[in-house]
Amino acid sequence: MPPLGSPLILDGAYGEGGGTLVRTALAMSALTQQPFRLENVRGAQSRQGLLSEDLTVLRALALSCSAETVGAELGSSQLSFLPTRAARTLHERLEPVADGEGKGHANANVVLSSLAPVMARSGGYSTLFAVGETFGRHVLGYDSFAQTTLAVWRRQGLYAYADMPVAGFGLQSRGEVALEIEPSVLQGMDWSDRGRLKLARAIVTTAELPEPVGDRGVEHIERLGQSAGVPIEAESIPLRAKTPGAQVTVWAEFERGLAGFAAYGQRGVRIETIAQQAVDSLLHWQTSDATVDDHLADQILINATLAEDPTTFKVERLTPRLLTMIWVIKQFLPIHLTVKGAEGKPGIVTIRR
């Protein structure tokens, strides 16, 4: 790691080589005030260069840290970020950065989850409103964010409260998620075994669909849980949105563990099929000895590196995304961050300052 003031040089094609690398580097730079230069932005992805979602996070953190930036534009393959002060609170509406056609695409939950660890360390309360997708395929949905991400953050000592005034289904939608973040003292956690099951719940979220669709989803989830010996308390939440949509989110909380899974609705696919996908994912995860799901592992990592006490957790699969985040964090902090296991296999992560 170079002396503070000399920029780190990072390869944006390292590991997963995508947006997670970009957002992790921005957050760590804001937290440590260590400038960096990123080359080959998103170099391992089919869509290379800075995307609207990256720039939304970048501009918010640049405002918080009064950072100087170079290459902060759509499609840029290189980026320099130089904070000039410690992060300060924000009270902002975060619109996706528009492209040449006047459109900007971002997942509102991803934007907020990228900013929250920095805002929690800014010494005051922040209120953010992120515009964009709130439910989508293979992305962080609002119900997962509100019910699992925020729950595990509370276990880490980070207190944030979410609301979704407007739902948005799909990447081009304009939903809105509000997040209030308290100044927080982060703490470690020993999640080397998950202990007993405390609760299992599910939400069937629908928009502009007949009410019985959600009810059928709830009934099917409860039947699946009873058959598996894991009672699941499910509820249907109908929303208003500009476009129809559906998502099923199911999660389980343990004494020392938490995991959630979601399935996104598709035209012509019955709600029972979507519910089955989400519940099957949870039941499969429970056959492992993991203490967090693969996506939650990403969302707790930065908080864990800032806590004074050690953190240990287990994952069912060490993803390229998680391993890339670990690599980025190690560039910014002299920290003991060890991984036992191979990529694609079960693993144990331990963080100690």
Cβ neighbours of 193 (radius 10 Å): 13
> Residue 8 — φ and ψ, nearest 5°?
-70, 145
128 in Cβ contact with 94 (< 8 Å): yes
- Cα(109)–Cα(14) distance, rounded to whole angstroms? 24
Closest to 236 measured CA to CA, from 202, 267, 276: 202
Largest CA distance in the chain: 61
pLDDT for position 5: 65
Per-residue model confidence as pLDDT tens digits over 75-89: 999 999 999 999 999
Cβ neighbours of 22 (radius 10 Å): 26
- The type of residue at 75 is G
Closest to 292 measured CA to CA, from 126, 157, 152: 152
81 in Cβ contact with 67 (< 8 Å): yes
280 in Cβ contact with 228 (< 8 Å): no
- Cα(57)–Cα(276) distance, rounded to whole angstroms? 34
* CA angle, 68 then 17 then 248, to 5°: 105
Per-residue model confidence as pLDDT tens digits over 240-297: 888 899 999 999 999 999 999 999 998 889 999 999 999 999 999 999 999 999 999 9
pLDDT for position 103: 65
For the chain, which ranges sit under pLDDT 50?
Answer: none
Question: In which element (H, E) is residue 245 found?
Answer: strand 245-254
- Cα(244)–Cα(135) distance, rounded to whole angstroms? 11
Q: 3-class SS at 70?
A: strand
- Cα(259)–Cα(322) distance, rounded to whole angstroms? 16
- The type of residue at 99 is D
341 in Cβ contact with 23 (< 8 Å): no
* CA angle, 284 then 287 then 291, to 5°: 95
| Whole-prediction pTM | 0.95
Show Cβ contacts of residue 32 under 8 Å, excluding neighbours closer than 6 positions: 4, 332, 333
Cβ neighbours of 166 (radius 10 Å): 18
102 in Cβ contact with 134 (< 8 Å): no
Closest to 170 measured CA to CA, from 111, 78, 243, 233: 243
Closest to 208 measured CA to CA, from 251, 173, 161: 173
Q: Residue 66 region, left (φ>0) first, then alpha (ψ -120 to 50), else beta?
A: left
pLDDT for position 254: 98
CA distances for 227 relative to 207, 278, 297, angstroms: 29, 15, 29
Q: Which residue's entry shows tokens 């989400």?
A: 278
Q: Within its chain, how far is the Cα of 30 from the centroid?
A: 18
- Give one DSSP letter per residue of 302-321, joined into a string: HHHHH-SS-EEEEESSB-HH
pLDDT for position 6: 87
Taking the CA of residue 141 as centre, how many other CA atoms within 13 Å lie in the half-sphere pointing to its CB?
A: 28
